[in-house]
Structure 1
Amino acid sequence: MKQNKIIRRTIVGSSAFAMAVSLAACEDKRPEASMFSSVEQCKENAPEGAFDWVSQCNEAFKQAEVEHAKLAPRYDSLEVCEAQHGTGKCGEPEVVTGSGGGGSFFMPFMMGYMVSNMFNSGSSSSSYSGRPVYSSASGKSYFTSDGKKAGSSFASKPFKVNRSVTKTPSLSKPPKVLTKTSVKRTGGFGSTRTVSSRSGGRVGG
């Protein structure tokens, strides 16, 4: 009888340990992110325990601007661009980026930027990255330059995102210039088919 009690205790103890290990393994380790419509809004909404937040906001915005200039979605007409991002939310490159450079295509304005923490918030080793976000046609969701959903509102509480959403694509590969035909074929901005088909050149006719 005593031996049976010892065996039962061992089994219960082992099960509890296994459950604890399982829960630890299932802990959501995805990076946290927040979206802001401006650097000022970012500075006013520091997450709890954030390290050197003002500098992080500034640096993340600079990163977002660089990506925006190089990787913002491109369309062959204003009509096609606004159909994907909303009326009044597109323009020629020199207007959208403020760089003064021209181009035979149209781009959406950067509506804000996503700041994500790739490490542990509150640590002196924390490092935040920034990516530009663009409006969907409905204005109810925001997406990264490569069409991955970033969120639905600015200055909200930090939320978990897949690591792929925080990763900036290669800046050396400009996106394809999309036409009305190619947008229809790929499903439009933000669709999985559009995300998987991005590379340099022009699509459709």
Structure 2
Amino acid sequence: MANHDQTPHLPRRKRSARLSLAMMGASAFGLTACGQPEQTTDVSFDSPRSYQSVDECVAADVYTRSACEEAYEASIKEVPRFSTLEACEAEHGEGACVAPNEEQAQAATGSSSGSWFMPAMMGYMVGNMMSRSSGGATSRGLYQEPVYRNRQNQGNWNTATNQASQRINQRQQSMRTSAMQNRQAATQRRGFGSRSSARGGWGS
């Protein structure tokens, strides 16, 4: 069964890309009350670039090697995983799936071993993302999307990257919708606070 569940040269630590995404995912449903995490109220993406390997990403001279490597590892985590080859091929097409190599298994699960399967990785897409919190702070990071084989693209690189772009657009829309809802909620809470203060003044 499937487990679906920065600017250039910025990221230097492995948490760079995942931190921004986790922050938006976790805080999107948080409250801005005292002692609780701030919410993300604005998100912007740039146009992603596609690479067939880490070396190609480095050669493009847009991101540092560490950023290219981190984005690649993070993209592997987003590839669907299946417990059997048959289950993977039933969804992605005959001949489209492989067992992960040691590097991919380590990146995906933290272990170099494991009996599972995934659509064959063809590359990945990398872009920049900026978010703004309800407190006015801004955060920059990378976002990434795996490019992998399935029955629709049949291993065609251009078709596969178009499909990855569609997934990025869906992610962007989802994040912007959550940010808009957070912004509206923060505005309403500020309004309630003002009315509460006013009532307190009238009663004194």
TM category, shorter: 0.3 to 0.5
Q: Which has the larger radius of gyration?
A: 1
Q: TM-score by structure 1 length? A: 0.41
Q: TM-score by structure 2 length? A: 0.42
